[in-house]
Amino acid sequence: MRLLVVEDDAEVASRLQADLRRAGYAADVTGDGDEAAYLGREEAFDAVVLDLGLPGRSGLEVLAGWRRAGIEVPVLILTVRDAWYERVAGFEAGADDYVGKPFHTAELIARLGALLRRRHGLPAGPLAVGGLRLDEQAQEVVTPARARHELTATEFRLLRYMMHNPGRVLSKTALSEHIYEYDDERDSNVVEVYIRRLRRKIGAERIRTRRGQGYELQA
């Protein structure tokens, strides 16, 4: 799962980025409205955390621009402007959730998780696919046999993304786009390495390889 954080206060942004990474997300940060608009159009984010008071272009304009362009990425507005009429305006511009600043990191992360599950049509609560359960707090996977396996950061991102898209064929490029940040070195062959490691932990039969197309997590 890869997120875009649009926040013009550098310190808030970098701490939030660190918190989100700790929570198992790939997180890109920008503090500029125009750059945010561009990144939202060009990159494959799973969700955006959007501040409203931005230099360049206001957050609401950025959001409205994406929605006009048909970009349906889930957007959580994170702003100091949290009067109810401002919330109404935010949702009318196309926001999916709204959190006022200052915020509790745990609550923000919980809301983001819920937003992502909702967007992928998954039920609320712990992420589970075909008896496989992901403990997002501990970043461990629990097999139907109740065996717990610790996951590295990249493994966790990869499995979480696949568990949000069960039964869908995901190309190596798509997978790398959703688990790496903008500045990371992307090598789709590395994806193969992580798939192999995941198979060792959750069982090889759970991830099917579709030749020339990609991988599919069995629902």
Partner 1 sequence: MRSLKLRLAVGLGASLLVLLGLQYVLVNGAIRGTAEHYLADGLSHRAETLIGALEWEADGAELEVPDAAYRRPYSGHYYRVEAGDATFRSRSLWEAELPLPELEIGEHRQWRTAGPQGQQLLVRAVAVQARGEPVRVAVAEDLSPLYAEVRDFQWRYALIAVGVAAALLALQWGLLAVGLRPLERLREQVAALGRGERRELDSDVPAEVRPLVAELNRLVRVLEDRLQRSRRATGNLAHALKTPLTRLFQLAEDPEMPPTVAARLREPAQQIRERVDRELKRAQLAGGSPAQRFDPGREVPALIRVLERTYAEQAPAIAYDGPPPGQACGEREDLVELLGNLLDNACKWARSRVAVHVAIEGEGLALTIADDGPGVPAEQRAALTERGGRMDEQVAGDGLGLAIVNDLVAAYGGSLRFATADLGGLAVHVALPARTTGASDGEDDA
The span from the CA of 18 to the CA of 77, in Å, is 19
Q: Is 182 in the site for partner 1 (CB under 8 A)?
A: no
Asked whether position 64 contacts partner 1 by CB under 8 A, the answer is no
User: Near partner 1 by CB under 8 A, which window of 54-62, 86-94, 134-142, 172-180?
Assistant: 86-94
Largest CA distance in the chain: 53
Degrees, nearest 5: CA angle 73-160-180: 65
**Closer to partner 1 by Cβ: residue 70 or 102:** 102
Contact status: 153 vs partner 1 (CB under 8 A): no
Q: Which stretch binds partner 1 (CB under 8 A): 11-19, 33-41, 148-156, 198-206?
A: 11-19
**Within 10 Å of residue 149's Cβ, how many Cβ atoms?**
14
Q: Which is nearer to partner 1, 9 or 184 (CB)?
A: 9
Per-residue contact flags (x/-) with partner 1 for residues 15 to 54, judged by CB under 8 A? xx--x--x------------------------------x-
208 binds partner 1 (CB under 8 A): no
Question: Is residue 210 near partner 1 by the rule CB under 8 A?
Answer: no
Q: Which residues contact 29 (CB under 8 A, 6 or more apart)?
A: 4, 5, 6, 7, 13, 14, 16, 17
Q: Which is nearer to partner 1, 68 or 85 (CB)?
A: 85
Which residue lies nearer to partner 1 by CB, 14 or 173?
14
172 near partner 1 (CB under 8 A): no
What amino acid is encoded at 50 in this protein?
Answer: L
Which span (33-41, 79-87, 168-176, 204-212) binds partner 1, by CB under 8 A?
79-87
Number of C-beta neighbours around residue 90 at 10 A: 24
Nearest to 39 by CA among 183, 186, 185, 190: 183
Closest C-alpha among 41, 37, 74, 43 to residue 57 = 37
